[in-house]
Amino acid sequence: MRLGVLDVGSNTVHLLVVDAHRGARPLPAHSHKAELRLAELVDADGAIGREGVDRLVATVTEAVGAAEDKGCQDVLAFATSAVREAANADHVLARVRAETGADLQVLSGADEARLTFLAARRWFGWSAGKLLVLDIGGGSLEVGYGLDEAPDAAVSLPLGAGRLTAGRLPGDPPDAADVRELRRHVRAEIARTVGEFSRLGSPDRTVATSKTFRQLARIGGAARSAEGPYAQRRLSRSSLEEWVPRLAAMTVEQRAALPGVSIERAPQLLAGALVAEAAMDLYGVDELEICPWALREGVILRRLDLMPAT
């Protein structure tokens, strides 16, 4: 069957169309995305402003039309931290439903971590052993750890690259004091969760998903996206330790000139690097692998798992 997955994230609204059936690898057929950066459109009261809601409705309308044009039999629509944490989330969801027909399901942070973990487990397989999976989104950091398809521990922290950039790094380039304060904040937040994971023992394999990790691996010398999903990509903590001070000294324009970094994501790259470096350090990770599957694939896989056998 042909499925559409509509992901309303903190940075982008992304429609992924796949051809899939139970027991088979989902095959991408079409991708449609728009950069909204909802995490940066929240007002002082914690609500998504009228302009942001209008843009979201227009973007979802376009994505629903694209799914119909591509012949999707079903569209799995979900929203993550930007909508989940908005003070006017009910209003936003009601408007989207009324004006687009899309019934956005709001995932909890723990659900994001679990579904991302499922995608990584299916990609690497059982031979990967105990997995530690990291994902940096626009609004949150998800961490999952376990031996099976469901993680034994899963947490979500408000450490997304977009959220931190908008709230804590106003300068271009940012002030050194702001960078130091953000570094302290990120490490304190992650440190609260270390005990929950360390009691489970050392992972056999550590992997990361998300655009942020892919860009950090790319500037560290990993393969280009054009080389396909099967090219092995790694990111080392030593590379991050080298790049963080360099990124902190760069303007957004200079970051956008780095290999694999888009102008849309360049402002967030430093915050993402600080979160990645802190996570690798505090969880005791020297090197990790980049997984091409993430939350959207996890949603697809869970849907296929629940389909009756034919």
Q: What is the CA radius of gyration of the chain?
A: 19
2-106 and 109-295 in the same fold:
yes
Average pLDDT, the chain: 94
Fold of the 109-295 domain:
Nucleotidyltransferase; domain 5 (3.30.420)
Instruction: In whole angstroms, give the CA distance from residue 122 to residue 298.
Output: 9
pLDDT band for position 223 (50/70/90)?
very high
Question: Alpha helix (H) ranges present in 125-236?
Answer: 161-168, 176-198, 211-219
How far, in whole angstroms, is CA 70 from its chain's centroid?
A: 25
Q: What is the pLDDT of residue 20?
A: 87
The 10s digit of each residue's pLDDT in 117-136 is 999 999 999 999 999 999 99
Q: Indicate whether 310 pLDDT > 70.
A: no
- For the segment 156-212, what is each residue's pLDDT rounded down to a tens digit? 999 999 999 999 999 999 999 999 999 999 999 999 999 999 999 999 999 999 999
The stretch 236-255 carries a mean pLDDT of 97
- Using an 8 Å Cβ cutoff, are 279 and 134 in contact? yes
pLDDT tens figures, 247-274: 999 999 999 999 999 999 999 999 999 9
| Crossing angle (nearest 10°) for helices 295-305 and 109-124 | 80
- pLDDT, average across residues 49-62: 94
Closest CA to 146 of 104, 117, 107: 117
The least confident of 25-39, 64-78, 134-148, 182-196 is: 25-39
Classified by CATH at the fold level, domain 2-106 comes out as: Nucleotidyltransferase; domain 5 (3.30.420)
Token reading at 71: 């012949």
H/E stretch holding 5 reads: strand 2-8
- Cβ contacts of residue 177 below 8 Å, gap of 6+? none
Instruction: List, as one string, the DSSP characters of 100-137.
Output: H---PEEPPHHHHHHHHHHHHHHHH-GGG-SEEEEEE-
Q: Which two tokens stand for residue 309?
A: 């056998």
pLDDT, mean of residues 30-57 = 90
Residue-wise pLDDT for 69-94, tens only, equals: 999 999 999 999 999 999 999 999 99
Q: Quick check: 38 pLDDT over 90? A: no
Give the global pTM.
Answer: 0.94
Q: Can you give the residue ranges of every domain in the chain?
A: 2-106, 109-295
